[in-house]
């Protein structure tokens, strides 16, 4: 009896432990139980200080930064901290070979020196629960019909709840796979300026070798500022705009960290699928992930070859390269971890349990056999789809050329007017300018040649574009010979009007279908695009509609099956504001290996490799670190500069730039990565191994102040000692 009691107590506390660190909670719906657990873990703030419907609270300091990152307000004048990799594109765009801020870093000495960008940031104004309204309008619908109706309903609500005159944008997010609907109301500010960034060698220290891994020594931060019109409202860039006066900003802690310290992370996790089916896991590990990795391998290789040769090309391709490389390593690691921990087996077990419960319940009993059939029907085409997205249209030229199908449609469709043609051509003309600015022909030509051959060999023959490879063989030679594809790609790049201003302008002035159809780049893109979109895209839509349907029912069933647990479930990430809480914590990644919870300047010096592409550093940094010139940023216990630290928080891509906040609501670091051992986190959270990798705020300030001479920025902050 006693023993039994002990096991019950143990399992409850185990459950509680995993529950505490796993979870991306909606701040609006932060249940009392979750809040109480935060307090138990050390939080000193009240619920109202975290999130309040009409009073300023911590959540007002958290913003969507750019297209897919998080940022936080850290001063009374709208100063923003985010990651270097989130500001990367803006920093690269502001740079030239002569003023290379990406390479050398940049700090504005005063507001006049801050650099305008095309970025915008969004503040969350409020969240409305509109579940019953949406579910009412979907009653009785299923499958594709439901998917279509849902997107129409959400679009009309979004429109009704938005107001362009105030830059108010509403986006309804389906949570729990469409079992709950919340309307998130944002206000967008479009005057965002670059204030500072470390040299890339610091901001991306360790490059792709260290990416997604701990121990880490990356200074992954950058600094921006949001401006408003004189009335304090969102305004387009104008020299006379004013720094925003925010409702809330985060004070910054200089206090030392201890293993076990409370840490919460606020931000915008992009997507997770923690209730993915076993079929989905299998498709990812068998086909989708390996195909993506293989194709990205090739693209990265050819891009890197050109970037190495010329600093101007490096600047031009850097941002795109970093993005491709980031998820190349992610999906490779995800596959490995899914297999290593037998996530497939775990999912199957959970599904068996569900099936046993579902027996005799008509709404749920057949889900998994139907779901399996939907996957079986789609599986033969899934590799083809990866080839389209990551291979054929992984070529920037082909990506642009495929967009010209719109122009062709306008030219040949019956009933289309001269106005329609003009509109399509003008749009293409504008897109071409953007495309050309980012285009490196040498790497792209290699990519086209390589992926054309890979498609031929890897995708089953009966899915090839009809006649395409036969013609290629007739005109250029054997299909198992690289030279065939090289000659073909060379001809495309030499002869397409897309690179030829005279030919292109003549076409824009006088668009006709024959010219477009005769263009070799268009020909290539169109062959693959039309083949895929006419025959396989409809199958994909059928598949995703079914997948959505069974996913929604599965989750609905799970919540019905265990109502107590249902009350404590958090919804999958949907790029909506979440809070995750946990602790600063060391871990054991594998047998006999122990990972400390912090990294220090000592490790920077150990990794430093002069002249290396990923591990070089500014001479001044090495000098300062060797002298141990850490100033007020030194960690008193370690007598060193703490660079990074890890926490047990549950985050994912989109959280990049998120503030790591201590129990008093002060900024202690910026989250910028997840660890390799838990890269399957989107599909299955590992309660033992999952860690968030953060840059310590004291290292950020040291880089700004000591390395960058940006004392003016430090002065703006509220430092807590
Ligand atoms: N893994 C980081 C994230 O997804 C991005 C790091 C960017 N650095 C790089 N080497 N590609 O947030």
- Give domain status of residue 371, yes or no: yes
Which residue pairs, CB below 8 angstroms and at least 24 apart, start in 529-533? 529/388, 529/393, 529/402, 529/405, 530/405, 530/465, 531/463, 531/464, 531/465, 531/466, 531/468, 532/384, 532/385, 532/388
Q: How far apart are CA 471 and CA 150, in angstroms?
A: 44
Question: What residues flank ligand 1, with Cβ below 6 Å?
Answer: 85, 204, 207-208, 211-212, 322, 325-326, 653, 656, 672-673
Count the domains in the chain: 2
- Give domain status of residue 183, yes or no: no
Residue-level pLDDT at 568: 87
**Looking at 656, 658, 680, 696, which residue is catalytic?**
656
Instruction: Answer yes or no: do 265 and 282 share one domain.
Output: no
Residue-level pLDDT at 20: 42
Please confirm, yes or no, whether 656 is among the known catalytic residues: yes
Please confirm, yes or no, whether 162 is among the known catalytic residues: no
Q: How far apart are CA 86 and CA 66, in angstroms?
A: 8
Task: Give me the domain span that covers residue 658.
Answer: 42-120+190-272+572-721
- What is the whole-number distance in angstroms between the Cα of residue 21 and the centre of ligand 1? 23
- Give domain status of residue 592, yes or no: yes
Residue nearest to atom 7 of ligand 1 (CA): 85
Residues 6+ apart with CB under 8 A from 284: 334, 335, 338, 683
Q: Counting atoms of ligand 1 from 1, which one is nearest the CA of 208?
A: 10
Each residue of 406-457: pLDDT tens digit?
Answer: 999 999 999 999 999 999 999 999 999 999 999 999 999 999 999 999 999 9
Cis peptide before 215 (omega within 30 of 0): yes
Residue nearest to atom 3 of ligand 1 (CA): 673
- Give domain status of residue 156, yes or no: no
Instruction: Answer yes or no: do 268 and 289 share one domain.
Output: no
- Please say which residue of 523, 540, 557 terminates a domain: 540
Instruction: Answer yes or no: do 608 and 721 share one domain.
Output: yes
Total-model pTM? 0.94
Instruction: Answer yes or no: do 332 and 393 share one domain.
Output: yes
Instruction: Answer yes or no: do 268 and 283 share one domain.
Output: no
Q: How far apart are CA 655 and CA 127, in angstroms?
A: 19
532 touches 387 (CB < 8 A):
no
Instruction: Answer yes or no: do 446 and 510 share one domain.
Output: yes
Residues 6+ apart with CB under 8 A from 48: 55, 57
Instruction: Answer yes or no: do 464 and 343 share one domain.
Output: yes
Sign (positive or negative) of CA dihedral 669, 671, 672, 678: positive
Residue-level pLDDT at 247: 98
- What is the whole-number distance in angstroms between the Cα of residue 212 and the centre of ligand 1? 7
Instruction: Answer yes or no: do 259 and 325 share one domain.
Output: no
Q: Counting atoms of ligand 1 from 1, which one is nearest the CA of 655?
A: 12
**Looking at 57, 84, 85, 382, which residue is catalytic?**
85
Question: Smallest Cα–Cα separation from 562: which of 14, 15, 3, 8?
Answer: 15
- For residue 236, what is the domain's CATH number? 2.40.10.120
- Please say which residue of 540, 563, 583 terminates a domain: 540
Q: How far apart are CA 75 and CA 248, in angstroms?
A: 8
Instruction: Answer yes or no: do 326 and 427 share one domain.
Output: yes
- Please say which residue of 540, 558, 584 terminates a domain: 540
Residue-level pLDDT at 506: 98
Helix residue ranges per DSSP H, 496-591:
501-509, 513-518, 520-531, 537-561, 563-567
Q: Counting atoms of ligand 1 from 1, which one is nearest the CA of 326?
A: 11
User: Could you give the angle at which helices 441-458 and 396-403 cross, rounded to 10 degrees?
Assistant: 80
- Give domain status of residue 244, yes or no: yes
- What is the whole-number distance in angstroms between the Cα of residue 325 and the centre of ligand 1? 8
| Phi and psi torsions of 184, nearest 5° | -100, 120
To test ligand 1's pocket by mutation, which of 658, 673, 674, 682 has the most ligand atoms within 8 angstroms of CB?
673
For 229-256, b/e burial (b = at least 16 CB within 10 A) is eeeeebbeeeeebbbbebebbbbbbbeb
- Give domain status of residue 561, yes or no: no
Backbone angle region of 58, left / alpha / beta, with phi > 0 → left and psi within -120 to 50 → alpha: alpha
- Give domain status of residue 111, yes or no: yes
With a cut of 70, which residues of the chain have pLDDT below it? 1-20
- What is the whole-number distance in angstroms between the Cα of residue 207 and the centre of ligand 1? 8
Each residue of 81-133: pLDDT tens digit?
Answer: 999 999 999 999 999 999 999 999 999 999 999 999 999 999 999 999 999 99
**Looking at 21, 60, 220, 635, which residue is catalytic?**
220
- Give domain status of residue 46, yes or no: yes
Please confirm, yes or no, whether 220 is among the known catalytic residues: yes
To test ligand 1's pocket by mutation, which of 211, 222, 332, 695 has the most ligand atoms within 8 angstroms of CB?
211
Instruction: Answer yes or no: do 358 and 457 share one domain.
Output: yes
Residue-level pLDDT at 642: 98
Instruction: Answer yes or no: do 400 and 532 share one domain.
Output: yes
Q: Counting atoms of ligand 1 from 1, which one is nearest the CA of 322?
A: 11
- What is the whole-number distance in angstroms between the Cα of residue 323 and the centre of ligand 1? 8
Token duo for residue 516: 């477009």
- What is the whole-number distance in angstroms between the Cα of residue 326 and the centre of ligand 1? 5
Instruction: Answer yes or no: do 251 and 370 share one domain.
Output: no
Q: How far apart are CA 107 and CA 704, in angstroms?
A: 8
- What is the whole-number distance in angstroms between the Cα of residue 672 and the centre of ligand 1? 7
């Amino acid at each position: 009896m006693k023993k039994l009691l002990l096991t019950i107590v143990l399992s409850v506390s185990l459950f509680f432990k995993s529950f505490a660190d796993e979870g991306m909670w909606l701040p609006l719906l932060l249940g009392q139980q979750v809040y109480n657990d935060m307090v138990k873990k050390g939080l000193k703030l009240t619920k109202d200080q975290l999130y309040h419907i009409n009073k300023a609270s911590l959540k007002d300091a958290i913003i969507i930064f750019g297209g897919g990152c998080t940022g936080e307000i850290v001063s009374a004048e709208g100063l923003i901290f985010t990651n270097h990799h989130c500001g990367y594109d803006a920093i690269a765009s502001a740079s030239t070979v002569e003023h290379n801020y990406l390479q050398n870093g940049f700090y504005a000495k005063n507001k006049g020196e801050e650099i305008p960008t095309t970025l915008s940031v969004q503040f969350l104004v409020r969240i409305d629960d509109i579940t019953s309204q949406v579910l009412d309008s979907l009653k009785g619908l299923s499958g594709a019909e439901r998917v279509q109706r849902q997107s129409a309903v959400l679009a009309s609500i979004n429109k009704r709840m938005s107001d362009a005159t105030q830059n108010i944008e509403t986006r309804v997010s389906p949570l729990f796979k469409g079992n709950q609907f919340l309307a998130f109301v944002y206000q967008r500010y479009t005057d965002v300026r670059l204030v500072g960034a470390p040299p890339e060698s610091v901001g991306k220290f360790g490059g792709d070798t260290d990416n997604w891994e701990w121990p880490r020594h990356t200074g992954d931060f950058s600094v921006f500022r949001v401006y408003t019109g004189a009335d304090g409202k969102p305004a387009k860039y104008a020299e006379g705009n004013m720094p925003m006066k925010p409702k809330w900003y985060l004070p910054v802690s200089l206090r030392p960290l201890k293993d076990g310290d409370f840490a919460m992370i606020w931000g915008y996790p992009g997507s997770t699928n923690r209730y993915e089916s076993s079929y989905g896991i299998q498709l990812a590990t068998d086909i989708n992930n390996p195909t993506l990795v293989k194709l990205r391998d090739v693209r990265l290789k050819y891009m890197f070859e050109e970037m190495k040769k010329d600093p101007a090309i490096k600047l031009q391709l850097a941002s795109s390269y970093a993005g491709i490389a980031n998820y190349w390593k992610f999906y490779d690691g995800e596959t490995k971890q899914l297999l290593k921990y037998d996530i497939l087996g775990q999912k199957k077990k959970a599904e068996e349990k569900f099936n046993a419960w579902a027996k005799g319940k008509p709404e749920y009993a057949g889900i998994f056999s139907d779901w399996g059939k939907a996957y079986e029907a789609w599986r033969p085409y899934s590799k083809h789809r990866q080839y389209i997205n990551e291979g054929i249209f992984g070529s920037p030229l082909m990506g642009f050329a495929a967009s010209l199908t719109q122009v062709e449609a306008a030219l040949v469709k019956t009933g289309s007017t001269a106005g329609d043609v003009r509109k399509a051509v003008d749009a293409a003309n504008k897109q071409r300018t953007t495309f050309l600015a980012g285009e490196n022909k040498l790497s792209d030509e290699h990519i086209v040649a390589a992926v054309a051959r890979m498609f031929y060999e890897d995708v089953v023959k009966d899915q090839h574009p009809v006649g395409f490879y036969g013609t290629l063989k007739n005109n250029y030679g054997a299909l198992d010979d690289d030279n065939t594809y090289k000659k073909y790609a060379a001809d495309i790049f030499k002869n397409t009007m897309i690179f030829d201003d005279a030919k292109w302008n003549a076409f824009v002035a006088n668009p006709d279908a024959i010219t477009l159809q005769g263009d070799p780049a268009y020909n290539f893109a169109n062959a693959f695009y039309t083949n895929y979109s006419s025959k396989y895209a409809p199958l994909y839509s059928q598949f995703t509609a079914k997948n959505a349907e069974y996913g929604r029912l599965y989750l609905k069933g799970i919540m019905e099956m265990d109502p107590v647990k249902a009350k404590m479930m958090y919804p999958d990430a949907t790029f909506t504001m979440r809070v995750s809480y946990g602790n600063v914590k060391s871990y054991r990644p594998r047998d006999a290996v122990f990972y400390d919870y912090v990294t220090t300047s000592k490790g920077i010096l150990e990794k430093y490799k002069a002249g290396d592409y990923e591990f070089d550093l500014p001479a001044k940094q090495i000098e300062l670190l060797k002298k141990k010139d850490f100033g007020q940023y030194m960690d008193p216990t370690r007598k060193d500069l703490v660079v990074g630290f890890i926490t047990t928080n549950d985050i994912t891509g989109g959280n990049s730039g998120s503030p790591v906040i201590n129990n008093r609501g002060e900024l202690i670091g910026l989250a910028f990565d997840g660890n390799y051992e838990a890269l399957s986190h989107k599909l299955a959270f590992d309660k033992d191994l999952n860690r968030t990798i953060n840059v310590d705020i004291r290292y950020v300030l040291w880089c700004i102040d000591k390395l960058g001479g940006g004392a003016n920025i430090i002065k703006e902050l509220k430092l807590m000692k």
